[in-house]
Chains A and B, each alone.
Chain A
């Protein structure tokens, strides 16, 4: 298993500002992902956080808007830049110990509200 700590758990932000979400895992993991879940919606993959290299972004998500770092096998950050009300969502850090083979573990999420 993997225990994931995400900070902040929630925040209220002003339009135009940026916020960095931290994800700490209690053990080394192979894969780390960042998802967004808008109210009443499914989980949308933002990017795969690659250790020591640039993240791999999904269609519709770009590095300038969602810069991601992953300096080691247990930690990653997601920044939501120049926020607008449309960015109000739950952001979820998730990890897998296999290469797409194992259970995906989730943090409790970071609920962002942009005013």
Chain B
């Protein structure tokens, strides 16, 4: 079965601090995809990144970076020099299903990030 664990329920940081959001996943599929979404207070879900299981290269996009490690089944997200606008709930998600034939997207419980001015 697929499972995504985000152990951090809520994190508070002061503006300009770096913060890492953890994501651990479980799957029996050999081919799978990992995602991060942001849900600001307005409620819409904003896609941040997609990573497939064969690409373990870390990725950086501006102040955002992602660390994918298959050995530990983790896909962590770091925000550098956090800003108040980064305050949101962040969801990690997993998709796959080639093994079972049932393709679906499973979300973690989310981490609420509060960036204080």
Contacts and interface: CB of A to CB of B under 8 A. Distances in A.
Interface of A: 31, 33, 35, 41-45, 48, 56, 90, 92, 94, 96, 99-106, 108-109
B35 to A, nearest CB: 7
Interface residues of B, number: 24
Contacts of A96: 95, 105
Contacts of B93: 104
A100 B47 contact: no
Where chain A touches its partner, the secondary structure class is: strand
Given A103-B50, A104-B105, A42 B33 contact: no
Given A99-B97, A99-B103, A108-B43, 15 more contacts: A35-B107, A42-B107, A43-B91, A45-B107, A48-B103, A48-B104, A92-B45, A94-B105, A96-B95, A99-B98, A100-B98, A100-B105, A102-B50, A103-B35, A106-B45
A42 B105 contact: no
A92 B109 CA distance: 16
